[in-house]
Chain A
Amino acid sequence: GAVVSQHPSRVICKSGTSVKIECRSLDFQATTMFWYRQFPKQSLMLMATSNEGSKATYEQGVEKDKFLINHASLTLSTLTVTSAHPEDSSFYICSAPHAGRASTDTQYFGPGTRLTVL
């Protein structure tokens, strides 16, 4: 299957600082990537859709000025959590669809990034 990587795998930062998380599709190109956050014992919540060459699409309730998304190339999307606060502590996961023979692409997920804001 296709491989999606994330970096860093975990990060601890002080309140008020910004943190950048990278999501890369290693062996395929992705014009679209998705960013999720997951709280303990809960399902994945879609935050935004990252689009190569255009602005990201944010889900209702997600602050676009706080969670900056840049789809820099066909294999890289970044999520920057600006002015992080303890309530931003969560598990952030990205995914990328990989084109197959069927009409709907299969989504492959990265390993996730554990963000802890002190």
Chain B
Amino acid sequence: GENVEQHPSTLSVQEGDSAVIKCTYSDSASNYFPWYKQELGKGPQLIIDIRSNVGEKKDQRIAVTLNKTAKHFSLHITETQPEDSAVYFCAAVLANAGNMLTFGGGTRLMVKP
């Protein structure tokens, strides 16, 4: 099955700085990579996703990059704000696996004002 590793487990940045979270996956058959933001006591919210036929995707201050050869994908948040503080999870979905997500371990991002 798929295995997803996520680093770092915690990340502290100053407001306005950039934050980068990295994930690696094990199965080259994975073709969909969503990122979720989870605030305390709430369910995960999809913030951005990327499919294997694309190398980069951007949505305002958030971008995701995918390197299929290296089986890496990363989340980039620019101009961080205190409200970006949350736990972020990456995930991978194997093609033809019934939409099942394999999650990374999560990154707790703290943005200091």
- Chain A residues with CB under 8 Å of chain B are 1, 4, 6, 32, 34, 41-44, 46, 49, 91, 93, 95, 97, 102-112, 114
Contact = CB atoms under 8 A, between A and B. Distances in A.
Interface stretch (B11-19, B70-78, B98-106): B98-106
Contacts of A32: 98-99
Summarize B's interface: helix, strand, loop or mixed. Answer: strand
Contacts, number: 58
B38 to A, nearest CB: 9
Size band of the interface chain B makes with A: 20 to 34
7 contacts: A43-B105, A91-B41, A103-B31, A103-B95, A104-B99, A108-B46, A111-B43
Contacts of B46: 1, 106-109
Given A43-B89, A44-B89, A107 B101 contact: yes
A49 B46 CA distance: 20
Interface of B: 31-32, 34, 36, 41-46, 49, 51, 89, 93, 95, 98-101, 103-106, 108
Given A43-B103, A112-B43, 8 more contacts: A42-B106, A44-B103, A95-B101, A104-B51, A104-B95, A107-B46, A111-B42, A112-B42
Nearest to A102: B51
Which of A42, A44, A111 counts the most B-chain CB atoms under 10 A from its CB?
A44
A1 B46 CA distance: 9
Contacts of B105: 42-43
Contact of A44 (B42, B44, B98): B44
Contacts of A106: 34, 46, 49
